[in-house]
Amino acid sequence: MTSFSEILTKINPSQKVLNTHNIIEDVFTYQAKAKKNPNKKILALSIGDPTVFGNLEYPPNIKDNLKNIIDSDKFNGYGHSAGFEPAREAVAKRMSNSKHTYTKEDVFLTYGGSGAVDMAIDYLASAGDNILVPKPGFPLYETLCGSKDVKVKEYTLIGEKNWEIDLNELRTLIDDRTKGIIITNPSNPCGSNFTKQHVLDIIQVAREKSIPIIADEVYDKFTFHGEMHRVSELAEDLPVFTIGSVSKIFIVPGWRCGWLHIHDPKNVMPNVREGMEKLTQLTLGPCTLVQAMIPHLMQTPESYYEKINEILRKNTDKIEELSSELNGMRIASKPQGSFFVMMKIEIEKFTPESGIKNDWDFMSKLLEEESVKVIPGVAFQMPNHVRITTCGSLDAITEAFKRLKEFCDRHTKQN
**Which of 248, 272, 297 finishes a domain?**
297
**216-266: pLDDT as tens digits:** 999 999 999 999 999 999 998 999 999 999 999 999 999 999 999 999 999
For the chain, helix (H) and strand (E) counts, in that order, are 16, 14
Same structural domain, 285 and 306 = no
pLDDT exceeds cutoff 90 at 324: yes
Same structural domain, 112 and 46 = no
Same structural domain, 85 and 33 = no
pLDDT exceeds cutoff 90 at 54: no
Mean pLDDT of the 363-370 span: 95
Same structural domain, 214 and 322 = no
Same structural domain, 107 and 143 = yes
CA-to-CA separations, 198 to 118, 201, 202, 268, 335, in angstroms, rounded: 26, 5, 6, 24, 17
User: According to the model, what pLDDT value does residue 367 have?
Assistant: 96
Are 151 and 179 in contact by the 8 Å Cβ rule? The answer is no
CA-to-CA separations, 347 to 356, 357, 361, in angstroms, rounded: 7, 6, 10
Same structural domain, 82 and 53 = no
Q: Output the domain CATH number for residue 376.
A: 3.90.1150.10
**Which of 280, 297, 314 finishes a domain?**
297
The answer to whether position 34 is within a domain reads yes
Tell which residue, 19, 6, 286, 327, has the closest CA to residue 151: 19
Average pLDDT over the chain reads 94
Sign of CA dihedral 378, 328, 155, 137: positive
Same structural domain, 182 and 275 = yes
The answer to whether position 250 is within a domain reads yes
Of all residues in the chain, what percent carry a pLDDT higher than 90? 84
Are 191 and 340 in contact by the 8 Å Cβ rule? The answer is yes
The answer to whether position 69 is within a domain reads no
User: According to the model, what pLDDT value does residue 5 have?
Assistant: 64
Report helix, strand or coil for 348. helix
Are 170 and 205 in contact by the 8 Å Cβ rule? The answer is yes
User: According to the model, what pLDDT value does residue 12 have?
Assistant: 87
Q: Output the domain CATH number for residue 262.
A: 3.40.640.10
The answer to whether position 70 is within a domain reads no
156: confidence class by pLDDT, cuts 50, 70, 90: very high
Percent of residues in the chain assigned helix, strand, coil, to nearest 5: 45, 15, 40
- The DSSP-derived string for 15-55 is HHHHH---HHHHHHHHHHHS---TTS--EETT---TTSSS-
The answer to whether position 67 is within a domain reads no
CA-to-CA separations, 87 to 1, 177, 354, in angstroms, rounded: 61, 35, 54
Same structural domain, 147 and 162 = yes
Same structural domain, 293 and 309 = no
The DSSP symbol for 332 reads S
Rounded Cα distance between 282 and 47, Å, is 30
47: confidence class by pLDDT, cuts 50, 70, 90: confident
Same structural domain, 255 and 373 = no
**Which of 261, 276, 297 finishes a domain?**
297
Rounded Cα distance between 255 and 289, Å, is 10
The answer to whether position 415 is within a domain reads no
Rounded to 5 degrees, what are φ and ψ at 234?
A: -95, -20
Burial group, residue 125, by CB count within 10 angstroms (0-12, 13-18, 19+): buried
pLDDT exceeds cutoff 70 at 64: yes
Same structural domain, 203 and 149 = yes
The end-to-end CA distance of the chain, in Å, is 79
Are 245 and 236 in contact by the 8 Å Cβ rule? The answer is no
The answer to whether position 312 is within a domain reads yes
Q: How many domains does the chain have?
A: 2
Strand pairing class (372-373; 43-44):
parallel
Are 305 and 221 in contact by the 8 Å Cβ rule? The answer is yes
SS (H, E, C) 256-289: CCEEEEEECCCCCCCCHHHHHHHHHCCCCCCCHH
The answer to whether position 40 is within a domain reads yes
Same structural domain, 158 and 115 = yes
Are 182 and 132 in contact by the 8 Å Cβ rule? The answer is yes
User: According to the model, what pLDDT value does residue 230 have?
Assistant: 97
Range of the domain at 93: 77-297
Tell which residue, 61, 56, 108, has the closest CA to residue 222: 56
- pTM of the predicted model as reported, rounded to 2 decimal places: 0.93
